[in-house]
Structure 1
Amino acid sequence: MGFKVAVVGATGNVGREMLDILAERAFPADEVVALASRRSLGQEVSYGDKKLKVKDLATFDFSDIDICLMSAGGDVAREWAPKIGAQGAVVIDNSSAFRYDADVPLIVPEVNADAVAGFSKRNIIANPNCSTAQLVVALKPLHDAATIKRVVVATYQSVSGAGKEGMDELFDQTRAIFSAGEVKQKKFTKRIAFNLIPHIDVFMEDGYTKEEWKMTVETKKILDPKIKLTATCVRVPVFISHSEAVNIEFEKPITADEAREILRSAPGCLVIDKREPGGYITPHEAAGEDATYISRIREDATVENGLAMWIVSDNLRKGAALNAVQIAECLVNRKLITAKKQAA
């Protein structure tokens, strides 16, 4: 008997992607339920070749749910994840609500799958920030080989990271510019069309933004608390896929050729690195794909044992929905959970 899975936030960008990926990967679910707020009640969302009618989160009975994939924002997660977990479902939450809780594992399956067993403390597992997820997939095999001391990363994050409103704003502003119309700002602090905004999330006292802080803290929790990391996070006029320019300093010597070979055999990584025009991956090409792409691997002569590289991944998939489904697969494959109906 298969599992019963609920998707909370099923009408959002990531929720829809979760449903698609569950179907694509043939997750062993006997039943999948789409949930959202009351205002979305009765809407239809796709799950493979089926249509699911959205149900109201506030009135839903989770007593026979085995796994709940949640992508409804931090406030909803803080209210509902503990309640759902208390009813025996394992909640895999895409928000930042529980990422920094010592009793909640923060998981990227290619990096720290063994830590998933810690879910039993609260029946909650956290998905990392989208920009962190793709970064640590690429860093992990290199850290194992040469021990990372310090990472400097500049992100180029797509508007889909800000939800449907972010995508709509880029589209509407671009259309307005081409038609000489009024360019309106709602979601972003500055115009995003044909522009860059070096500001994601709120500013903190030290001048970093919360998005930059997240990358630092999450990398330490997932990979190694000894790693030093500094980030500059930038919103760019791209619909889907985040890109990152990354400089890494290692304790041990490692050449670009060695790194290339290590990454070629690493789980979740795909190296596209020809030193010629077009011999690299762009966000457009990564959209809709599962891999974390690595290009422009080269030695950084400004530090001892340094490398530089370019990392691109679909933020809605590996940065959110795919990672959540992979965590669910990890629970099933490791036999850490059994279907409630089967266990009864």
Structure 2
Amino acid sequence: MGYKIAIVGATGNVGHEMLNILAERQFPVDEIVALASRRSLGSEVSFGDTTLTTKDLDTFDFAGWDMALFAVGSEATKIYAPKAAAAGCLVIDNSSLYRYDPKIPLIVPEVNPEAIVDYKNKMIIANPNCSTAQMVVALKPLHDRARIKRVVVSTYQSVSGGGKEAIDELWDQTKSIYNPTDNKPPKKFTKQIAFNVIPHIDVFMEDGSTKEEWKMVVETKKIVDPNIKVTATCVRVPVFVGHSESVNIEFEDFLDEDEARDILREAPGVMVIDKREDGGYVSPIECVGDFATFISRIRQDSTVENGLNLWCVSDNLRKGAALNAVQIAELYGREILKKG
């Protein structure tokens, strides 16, 4: 049995990845449609060996379609997601619009698949923030063993998290460094991103944190455990694709680094590459195009009673967005549609 799938925002970076991953994972598709705004109407996108011509999102009828994977901003999602849901089509949304609605499940399938049953509240499932998604895949199996009290995370987030304009800005500024007459001032970012790092993602909040940092706190609590304390510093770095995170974890119970390594090796969605030698860890450029969340540099933190440090890397366009959405679609098909 196959499904009728709509990809909303098919011409964007995440929409492209959704189509690629559906084909790579041989998702059971009977029919698939690529939807986009009118300015992109008629553009062609690839789905495996098939070329799809985009159709107009504004006039599309979602009745009779099983699932719609949304890869558009919150403003467009606010208009079209309720229409799809009202037509009986499950919405899997990659924007931040619905993540904090208590009636809408926020799902990372390796972490909280049981939350799928709450889809029926509004026929919408939310995809978490890219930085949260990769971190909670690593946190959950450790939390099950030793109960996490507190997490301190610093992120090193690639520009692709800011969309095509951000990628172009890094590329153009990098080239202009070697051509002083071709100055490229920041437009997408608040400061030059080439050969620089920017400790600012999304808008500032009253307490001095940014909204990106706030998202990691709230989403980790919703997905894993509301009792976990989280503090985050989110930084944009001059990397095209692949988010990295330095994660410090304090547990209620002692967890030896060797046991933690063994637990993570068995955890779904995790790949441990952790050798204490030159190059015995994963950097963001090495994770691009991969499904896994890579964990390296696992070690005891002697400054707290029950502490561990680790390094976490993942392709943010995949696990942080498109892959997680497809995994939710697989979970919904397996647990809900097939069971009737």
- The 3-state SS of whatever aligns with 1:245 is strand
Paired position in structure 1 for 2:77 = 77
What aligned pairs does 1:236-251 form with structure 2 within 5 A after superposition? Answer: 236-251=237-252
Paired position in structure 1 for 2:223 = 222
Q: Report the Cα distance in structure 1 between the residues aligned to 2:249 and 2:313, rounded to whole angstroms.
A: 16
Paired position in structure 2 for 1:326 = 327
Paired position in structure 1 for 2:31 = 31
Q: Report the Cα distance in structure 2 between the residues aligned to 1:122 and 1:183, rounded to whole angstroms.
A: 45
What aligned pairs does 1:76-155 form with structure 2 within 5 A after superposition? Answer: 76-155=76-155
Gaps of 5+ in 1: none
Q: Report the Cα distance in structure 1 between the residues aligned to 2:97 and 2:78, rounded to whole angstroms.
A: 6
- Could you list the runs of 4 or more consecutive aligned residues of structure 1 that deviate by over 3 angstroms after TM superposition? none
Q: Report the Cα distance in structure 2 between the residues aligned to 1:80 and 1:122, rounded to whole angstroms.
A: 14
TM (norm. structure 2) is: 0.98
Q: Report the Cα distance in structure 2 between the residues aligned to 1:256 and 1:183, rounded to whole angstroms.
A: 46
Q: Report the Cα distance in structure 1 between the residues aligned to 2:95 and 2:177, rounded to whole angstroms.
A: 33
Q: Report the Cα distance in structure 1 between the residues aligned to 2:223 and 2:37, rounded to whole angstroms.
A: 32
Deviation of 1:282 (Å)? 0.1
Q: Report the Cα distance in structure 1 between the residues aligned to 2:96 and 2:191, rounded to whole angstroms.
A: 24
Q: Report the Cα distance in structure 1 between the residues aligned to 2:2 and 2:153, rounded to whole angstroms.
A: 42
Paired position in structure 1 for 2:204 = 203
Paired position in structure 1 for 2:284 = 283
Paired position in structure 2 for 1:15 = 15
Letter in 2 for 1:31: E
Q: CA RMSD in A?
A: 1.0
Matched, 1:157 2:147: no
Gaps of 5+ in 2: none
Deviation of 1:183 (Å)? 2.2
Q: Report the Cα distance in structure 1 between the residues aligned to 2:77 and 2:252, rounded to whole angstroms.
A: 39
Matched, 1:213 2:219: no
Paired position in structure 2 for 1:292 = 293
TM (norm. structure 1) is: 0.97
- The 3-state SS of whatever aligns with 2:107 is coil
Deviation of 1:184 (Å)? 2.2
Larger CA deviation: 323-332 vs 75-84: 75-84
Letter in 1 for 2:109: P
Deviation of 1:337 (Å)? 2.1
Letter in 1 for 2:269: G
Q: Report the Cα distance in structure 2 between the residues aligned to 1:217 and 1:250, rounded to whole angstroms.
A: 19
Q: Percent identity?
A: 67
Paired position in structure 1 for 2:306 = 305
Q: Report the Cα distance in structure 1 between the residues aligned to 2:178 and 2:148, rounded to whole angstroms.
A: 46
Q: Report the Cα distance in structure 1 between the residues aligned to 2:22 and 2:178, rounded to whole angstroms.
A: 39
- List per-residue Cα deviations over 1:45-77 (Å, max 9, x = no partner): 010011100111001111121100001011111
- The 3-state SS of whatever aligns with 2:110 is helix
- The 3-state SS of whatever aligns with 2:253 is coil
Deviation of 1:2 (Å)? 1.4
Letter in 2 for 1:153: V
- The 3-state SS of whatever aligns with 1:309 is strand
- The 3-state SS of whatever aligns with 2:320 is helix
Letter in 2 for 1:297: I
Instruction: Give the number of equivalent residue pairs.
Output: 339
Deviation of 1:179 (Å)? 2.2
- The 3-state SS of whatever aligns with 1:22 is helix
Matched, 1:66 2:66: yes
Deviation of 1:338 (Å)? 5.7
Q: Report the Cα distance in structure 2 between the residues aligned to 1:307 and 1:338, rounded to whole angstroms.
A: 41
Q: Report the Cα distance in structure 2 between the residues aligned to 1:310 and 1:49, rounded to whole angstroms.
A: 37
Q: Report the Cα distance in structure 2 between the residues aligned to 1:203 and 1:245, rounded to whole angstroms.
A: 22
Q: Report the Cα distance in structure 1 between the residues aligned to 2:327 and 2:205, rounded to whole angstroms.
A: 32
Q: Report the Cα distance in structure 1 between the residues aligned to 2:3 and 2:153, rounded to whole angstroms.
A: 39
Paired position in structure 1 for 2:260 = 259
Letter in 2 for 1:99: R
Q: Report the Cα distance in structure 2 between the residues aligned to 1:79 and 1:137, rounded to whole angstroms.
A: 31
Letter in 1 for 2:147: T
- List per-residue Cα deviations over 1:128-173 (Å, max 9, x = no partner): 0000000000000000000000000000000000000110000000
- List per-residue Cα deviations over 1:201-239 (Å, max 9, x = no partner): 000000000000000000000000000000000000000
Deviation of 1:24 (Å)? 0.6
- The 3-state SS of whatever aligns with 2:299 is strand
Paired position in structure 2 for 1:231 = 232
